[in-house]
Amino acid sequence: MCNRSESIAALAKALAAFQGEVRDPSKGSDNPFFKSKYVSLDGLVAAVRPVLSRHGLSYLQFPGGDGQLVTMRTMLLHESGEWPINCKRK
């Protein structure tokens, strides 16, 4: 089942501005197994949080699981109270 706020005009405008401003975070962490570099979660958050905030955006995360499957649900928020599509598993 999916739903969203009645309007997402302000949210869409803020997301477009965010996407136009945010820059790819640097790949500052090493993965010795694959001999490659990657963006750490801390690096990602440091890169996006200030830009999200400038555009009235924020997020919440909810860990979950059933003992075998680990899940993370992320909810995008906008200062207008608008919210994007929200789908829940049955």
Question: Can you give the pLDDT at residue 88?
Answer: 66
- Residue 73 CB neighbour total at 10 angstroms: 13
Conformational region of residue 56, where left means phi above 0, alpha means psi within -120 to 50, and beta covers everything else: left
Question: Can you give the pLDDT at residue 58?
Answer: 94
8 A C-beta contact, residue 17 and residue 35: no
Structure pTM? 0.80
- The average confidence (pLDDT) of the chain is 91
Question: Can you give the pLDDT at residue 1?
Answer: 64
pLDDT digits (tens, 9 = 90+) for 46-85: 999 999 999 999 998 899 999 899 998 888 999 999 888 7
Question: Distances from the Cα of 53 to the Cαs of 10, 27, 41, 69, in angstroms?
Answer: 14, 23, 18, 32
